[in-house]
Amino acid sequence: MMKKVVGSWSIRVAAVVFIVSLLCAAALGETWYVNNETGQDTFDGLSAEALRRPAVRTPGLGDGVHGPFATFKRAISTLKTSDRLEIARTSRPYREMLMLGGVGGTPDKPLVVEGNGATIDGLDVVPAAQWKAEPDGTFSTPFKTNANKLERVKDVMTWIGAPQIWFVDGQPAPNAKSAEDLAKSPGGFYWNKGEHKLYLKPPAGKKLEDLRIEVPMRGTGISVHGTDYVVVQNFRSVHSLNDGVGTGNCTGVVFRNIDGSDNCDQGFSAHNGAVNIIEDCRFERNAGSGICDVNNSVTIFRRCSVAHNTFESGAYFLNEGFHVMEDCVIADNDDGPQVMIGADGWVQLRNCVVSGKPGNAIPLIESKGGSVKLDNCTIADGVVGVQMDPAKGLLKISNSIFARCSQALAVVPKGAEARFGSNYNGWHLGVLDFGGIQYTAQTWPDYQKTSKQDANSLTADPQFTGADTFDLPPDSPYLKSGDKGRRIGAFSKLPK
């Protein structure tokens, strides 16, 4: 009798252990695989490599063959909370959008999407049937971008030339600025913004059917909306009609090592209360701004490059929200300020380099009512280093270098003086405009007395050459006992 009881108890224990193991496996999350070369959406998605023999069929997962899915869409349809999605880096880009929403993770176990260096490309082939023959020997097809400012700017009526988005037979194609120029550009394109038509002139001796013509045809490359606790890492997202990366209505979402460049609008854009961390990313050569965060979003950027973007600004923080940039370079953006802060927003730059593009007549950092905190930054090569809004917003500056600004290193308008705080900086005067009065190195004591700021700041030439920041001299008031060369300004190097 005892033996039977023990046996029954053993069976119960084994059953409990089995159930607990199942629960633990579920808690750990499943791993799914995608490969756009070897995968099929009829596979079960549970293996990086396709097996030759049929596996045990898993209900709802296709024909039961272990192997990767072929598409993001199929893989995302299988995801459960805290799963992992492994994307294979293959010899060709993924011609679809990575759209995550609804299923995420938990604070201690986020859903992870690992790109392994894969490229998401918004380009696609425009079939010959979609082109209309024109009387002048060119062909046309409808084309409208999602480039917000480009579509609004009245004096820009064609594609700006950067980024490169027209390709013929896998090679960049010429970008004509007018119909007349197109006549001289065989194999080139001309976009008429007013008509929202794209015109193509085939190369001599080539028929339309002979050509592989690719232009942007899909929206945001990586999109995370309406889901929480997600990590997306190690991707290139290029040539989208809209943004390289877009987020909204999500919290605890992390992006790492994303190259969001060469897109028709922004490289990165956060919307509608998104709370995101963005690390080790590049947002360059986009037709819009490198970064555009709006609608009460919260973003922290670390070790990012924001450069050579065309419209709006390098980093554009519009309306309410809180934003931090640490160890970043924001430089050589074309149109607006390198950093723009909208009304009621708060932006903190820490250990950042902000550098202008030659000929750009806009302040490097400009507040439109928002508040700005600069610490350990280097601000150089512009007409104005930082411009306060006259009506609202704070400006706090510490441990930073300002140099080579032709009109003023900083502008604190009359009426804004009480909202300005500054100390322990290196001002390479130049001019500092405070309360409508322009102070120079010769009148620096007058500025200190009037403003009650910068009591411990330097005004001498910091020997700032553009190649690096500078070591403080031995008699610097910044040096503390035991220091051997403490620096102010960003530790990053300015781009050449």
| CATH code assigned at 282 | 2.160.20.10
Cβ neighbours for 258, distance < 8 A, ≥ 6 positions apart = 222, 232, 233, 234, 235, 236, 237, 244, 245, 268, 278, 281, 282
pLDDT band for position 456 (cuts 50, 70, 90): confident
Write down the pLDDT at residue 161.
85
For the chain, the domain total comes to 2
Is it true that the peptide bond before 358 is cis, omega within 30 degrees of 0? Answer: no
- Dmax (CA) for the chain in angstroms is 104
Write down the pLDDT at residue 12.
42
Residues 167 and 243 grouped into a single domain: no
Residues 425 and 298 grouped into a single domain: yes
Of 216, 248, 268, the residue that ends a domain is 216
pLDDT band for position 458 (cuts 50, 70, 90): confident
pLDDT in tens, 114-141: 999 999 999 999 999 999 999 999 999 9
What is the span of the domain harbouring residue 355? 223-451
pLDDT band for position 53 (cuts 50, 70, 90): low
* Domain membership flag for residue 287: yes
Residues 206 and 228 grouped into a single domain: no
Of 216, 251, 285, the residue that ends a domain is 216
Is 463 a residue whose pLDDT tops 70?
A: no
Residues 209 and 244 grouped into a single domain: no
* Domain membership flag for residue 253: yes
The total of other beta-carbon atoms located within 10 Å of residue 221's CB is 29
The total of other beta-carbon atoms located within 10 Å of residue 357's CB is 18
3-class DSSP state for residue 299?
A: strand
Of 216, 248, 277, the residue that ends a domain is 216
- b vs e for 441-459, b when ≥16 Cβ sit within 10 Å of the residue's Cβ? eeebeebbeebebbeebbb
Answer whether 490's CB lies under 8 Å from 378's CB: yes
The radius of gyration computed from the CA coordinates of the chain, to the nearest angstrom, equals: 28
Residues 299 and 426 grouped into a single domain: yes
Tokens of 445: 């004591």
pLDDT band for position 472 (cuts 50, 70, 90): low
- Nearest CA among 71, 224, 126 for reference residue 62: 71
Is 359 a residue whose pLDDT tops 90?
A: no
Tokens of 470: 């500078």
* Domain membership flag for residue 365: yes
Residues 199 and 231 grouped into a single domain: no
pLDDT in tens, 473-495: 555 544 555 555 555 677 544 43
- E-only strand ranges, 138-274: 139-142, 167-168, 171-172, 175-176, 189-192, 197-200, 213-216, 222-225, 230-238, 245-248, 253-259, 268-271
Average pLDDT of the segment spanning 422-447: 94
Residues 301 and 398 grouped into a single domain: yes
* Domain membership flag for residue 370: yes
Residues 262 and 378 grouped into a single domain: yes
430: left (phi over 0), alpha (psi -120 to 50) or beta: left
Answer whether 453's CB lies under 8 Å from 421's CB: yes
Write down the pLDDT at residue 471.
52
Cβ neighbours for 148, distance < 8 A, ≥ 6 positions apart = 265, 288, 312
Angle (nearest 5°) at CA 398 between 394 and 401:
115
Residues 263 and 387 grouped into a single domain: yes
Answer whether 425's CB lies under 8 Å from 409's CB: no
Question: Residue type for 151, please?
Answer: E
Chain-centroid distance, C-alpha 2: 69
Residues 209 and 232 grouped into a single domain: no
* Domain membership flag for residue 367: yes
Residues 388 and 240 grouped into a single domain: yes
- Nearest CA among 468, 339, 455 for reference residue 401: 468
User: Who wins on pLDDT, 172 or 18?
Assistant: 172
pLDDT in tens, 67-118: 999 999 999 999 999 999 999 999 999 999 999 999 999 999 999 999 999 9
Tell me the C-alpha to C-alpha distance, in Å, between residue 18 and each of 14, 15, 258.
Answer: 6, 5, 41
* Domain membership flag for residue 364: yes
Write down the pLDDT at residue 312.
85
* Domain membership flag for residue 61: no
Is it true that the peptide bond before 45 is cis, omega within 30 degrees of 0? Answer: no
pLDDT band for position 496 (cuts 50, 70, 90): very low
3-class DSSP state for residue 205?
A: coil
* Domain membership flag for residue 158: yes
> pTM of the entire structure?
0.88
Residues 159 and 287 grouped into a single domain: no
Residue 287, CB-side half-sphere exposure with 13 Å CA sphere: 28
